[in-house]
Structure 1
Amino acid sequence: MTHSVPESVPRPAAAPRRKPGYRFNLVGIIGLSVLLFWAVIAVIAPWVIPYPVGEIVDYDALGPMTAKFWLGTDYLGRDILSRVLMGARYTVGISLASVTLACSLGVTLGMIAAVSGGWLDTLLSRFLDAMNSIPSKLFGLVVVAAVGSSLPVLVLTMAVIYVPGSFRFARALAVNINTMDFVTAARIRGERTPYLILSEILPNILGPVLADLGLRFVFTVLLLSGLSFLGLGVQPPYADWGAMVRENIGGLAFGAPAVIFPCVAIATLTISVNLLIDNLPQKIRDRSDA
């Protein structure tokens, strides 16, 4: 025998579905897809390039696009497709290492200065302000020309260039968080500076810091390409995208693909990062509403 539930008795409401923590719109998905594509190419490039990057494979210099050479050849007859794919390893790898080092150091020093205050804050701020007053390209040119161009020198030079800006950005955010009640309560109950930085300050500035890291990655890519265009970047026979433009710019009228495709690679990488950054604030708002 079955018993029916009277219609007057309210049924229990279904548990609300939890909204996903992160949401990307179409623009963000496109930016993320292009960025992941170049990241994957940077990792697998040595195994997918059709020809060695330094090998002359065509005696027709600045050759056109053909079935054998999809993107044509450069001024020495080397395969452009192989050099573009391999150049992703240097452009993405050097830029990512530089910006990660710069933001890690700058954000850490900025939070320490904000929490500690006093003479330490003043000393760090004045020193890094002085560093920030030096034009970035001029500093890079002087250091690389004096020490020599190598991968460690490029990474360290560009990291030093972007530490002051990252410090100022993180310190401005951390100073605001440091005055809030939950940080004051943590300080009153005896928590030390490392706890305040890692547990109270960093989680509340992480979103803007990630957006700043992406923006500085774009600046680093452009700075590296500029240094390489001046002959102070990755040295032959290897090349990043900026060096490929410099190598072939004299033959632009005869072999445009040798110049256009490295430029397109730089543009797609930087634009995709910008598209992803533009989507990041909406992503953070969606997470806070979840």
Structure 2
Amino acid sequence: MLKLFQNAPLSAKIGAGIVLFNILIAIFAPLIAPYGETSVVGDVWEVFSDKFYLGTDHIGRDLLTRMVYGARNTIALAFITTILSFSSGSLLGFVAAVKKGWTDQVLSRIIDVIMAFPTLIFALMVLSVLGSSIPVLILTIALLDSTRVYRLARAVAMDVEVMEFVEAARLRGEGTRWIMIQEILPNALPPLVAEFGLRFCFVFLFIASLSFLGLGIQPPLADWGGMVRENAGAITFGIYTPLIPAAAIAFLTVGVNLIVDWFLHLSSGLKE
């Protein structure tokens, strides 16, 4: 992997640097943040200064501190949700491709029903009824996102499943678990890794969107999407505080997509 990364294009290295920067901030948030996550330390919407490097928010909390803890909360939640959705979607997709028949039909029709609902409307409906707690938020987004992963995993697995080495494994008497893990997964990994990055971006932006609408990560926890909503009124007074978390969202999304583009290029087999 190190050798592969050394030969990566500049865009992928820039993307990796952006992602690593955000991960380090999320991990060491308590050491980096100058104040407490919920501490009111100044007046409303103070400008940049030596005391407040990014100013303060709508109730006088240090914006730099909120940005640092927002990175931890938003990235961690998006990563956990993506892992859950990707694991469940890939597993069901592989099972459907290998088992075929009624198993494939039942799973595919259930996925079709879920995908028939607009994603945002479905999430808003569930979160409005069950509340916006962290477990409900994770499970709701993971369910919606796993349908897209299922479609890709099933399509890739069906292409691999007809290969001769898979048929040879069946003739040896290997079971479904062996075929999925030892035969299909290694050959389906490149497109799935690229899809993981795309799914992370989707989940990350979706959480920010829900927080902007008031149904994502709830106050007093810091969240970049929620920070845009909370400070939106500052634009009226010519204060650009809400643009800072919005720029952070765009910054991380671009970084992940640069890495994803590189993985997609590798999995396509194309040469420079």
**Alignment partner for residue 54 of structure 1, among 15, 38, 41?**
38
Q: Distance in 2 between matches of 1:233 and 1:253?
A: 25
Cα distance in structure 2, aligned partners of 1:268 and 1:255: 23
Aligned length: 269
Q: Which moved more, 1:248-257 or 1:148-157?
A: 248-257
Pair 1:39-2:5 in alignment: no
Is 1:187 aligned with 2:170? Answer: yes
Greater relative CO (CA pairs within 8 A, separation 6+): 1
Q: Quick check: 1:72–1:80 contact (8 Å CA) kept in 2?
A: yes
The one-character-per-residue Cα deviations of 1:217-263 (angstroms, maximum 9, x if unpaired) are 11111111111011111111112100000000012133634201100
Compute the displacement of 1:285 (Å): 6.7
User: In the superposition, relative to structure 1, how do residues 248 and 166 fare at CA in structure 2: closer, same or farther (>3 Å)?
Assistant: same
SS at match of 2:231: helix
| C-alpha distance in structure 1 between counterparts of 2:21 and 2:219, whole Å | 25
Identify which of 109, 118, 128 aligns with 2:92: 109
**Hey, what does 1:24 align to over in structure 2?**
8
After TM superposition, the runs of 4+ consecutive aligned structure 1 residues lying more than 6 A away are: none
RMSD: 1.7
**How much does 1:39 deviate?**
1.1
**C-alpha distance in 1 between matches for 2:4 and 2:211:** 40
- The 5 Å alignment of 1:55-204 reads 55-59=39-43, 61-204=44-187
Please say which structure displays the higher CA radius of gyration.
1
- TM-score with structure 2 setting the length: 0.95
Q: In the alignment, residue 34 of structure 2 is paired with which amino acid? A: P
Q: Deviations over 1:197-227 (max 9, x none)?
A: 0000000010100111110111111111111
Letter of the aligned partner of 2:214 in structure 1?
G
1:42–1:92 CA contact under 8 A, matched in 2: yes
In 1: Cα distance, 2:122 partner to 2:198 partner: 20
Deviation at 1:143, TM superposition (A): 1.1
Shift in Å at residue 139 of structure 1? 1.1
CA distance in 2: counterparts of 1:128 and 1:46, whole angstroms: 41
